[in-house]
Amino acid sequence: MNSLLEKELNHNKKIKKPDFSTKSGREFMAIYLYSKFKQILEYDKTHETPIFKSINSSFIPKFTKRLVNNPEKHFLIGISGESASGKTTICNTIKKATERLNMPIEILSADNYFKDISALISKYGSFDKLLASGYDVDSPDNFDMEQLYIDLLNLSQGKDVKIPQYLVNGTGVVIPRAIPKKAQKIIIVEGMATMYGKVADLFDIKLYIDIDPKIQEKWFIYRAQTSRNQNEENARKQLAYVREASKKYIIPKKDSSDIILNGASSLEYFSQIIEYIYTITNNFSVSEN
């Protein structure tokens, strides 16, 4: 990817920046981006661990139409996948890369839209005991989907919002309107709730992070022990529950995603792709000459 980046930066004949206020300018940009995206995909095939696993055939025409016909709408990118597939890690990589490049991106977690279950946890004695009772915590009914829809719709229209905060400390407490989120030009949302109901239809790009089960198990147990104060026995019990929930709610939605990514691909390589995308969308000549 560095070779492509160097070639782009050192190219003597840069393209004149298109006028995005005109339809013809946006159509030119759409064709240009499509050609560059194909270039990325061809390069990715040669990488030791490619990040692109598959692309939905309807994605490019749909995205091109959106870019040309609705330029004012802010871009919404949904990232979904099984628990411990690398969603948050990839979002953190995007955050670091985009902050370095000063790109206008906001990131939020749809997990913050879990409904408050503190009363239930208090009743059963702990989160683990609540799960053991058969409570289906990952059901779409346990997310405030209407509020998620409203907040994402507002962000897509350029309006700042304050989203809830779900405390991942085992209490099940939700603090309403706790986290301010700015309506940047690009909004990235990660979490299983991005796949549910009418919320899924809001996204311009739907990414699914695929992961090998053995790697998922390793990451899940490590996270449970280091970040969530769980012992290995409880972590494995919860992993078994999570995998059953994934079979019901997450994996069936995989084929409706626009792009399936490999969660085990190199994060450094992923950062290079982000930098290349930034470069090709900003590396234009500003004059006729």
Asked if the model's pLDDT at residue 286 lies above 60, the reply is no
**Pairwise pLDDT comparison (162 vs 253), residue with the higher score:** 162
120 and 204 inside one domain = yes
Cα separations (Å) of 159 from 74, 79, 91, 169, 269?
10, 21, 22, 30, 33
241 and 273 inside one domain = no
The DSSP string of 150-210 is: HHHHHHHTT--EEEEEE-TTTT--EEEEEEEE---SEEEEESGGGGSGGGGGG-SEEEEEE
* Residue 289 within any structural domain of the chain: no
pLDDT at 128: 82
pLDDT at 137: 86
* Residue 201 within any structural domain of the chain: yes
Q: Are 20 and 26 in contact (CB under 8 A)?
A: yes
272 and 180 inside one domain = no
Q: How far apart are CA 120 and CA 16, in angstroms?
A: 60
The domain in which residue 237 lies consists of 52-103+112-264
42 and 93 inside one domain = no
Q: Which positions ≥6 away from 169 have C-beta within 8 Å? A: none
Percent of the chain with pLDDT over 70: 93
**Residue 273 backbone dihedrals phi, psi, to 5 degrees:** -65, -45
221 and 278 inside one domain = no
Describe the strand order of the beta sheet including 105-109 as a list of residue ranges: 52-55, 259-262, 205-210, 75-81, 186-190, 105-109
4 and 82 inside one domain = no
* Residue 214 within any structural domain of the chain: yes
198 and 277 inside one domain = no
Q: Are 76 and 203 in contact (CB under 8 A)?
A: yes
Mean pLDDT of the 41-46 span: 92
pLDDT at 289: 44
160 and 258 inside one domain = yes
225 and 242 inside one domain = yes
10 and 125 inside one domain = no
Number of structural domains (the chain) is: 2
Mean pLDDT of the 252-275 span: 92
Q: How far apart are CA 71 and CA 21, in angstroms?
A: 9
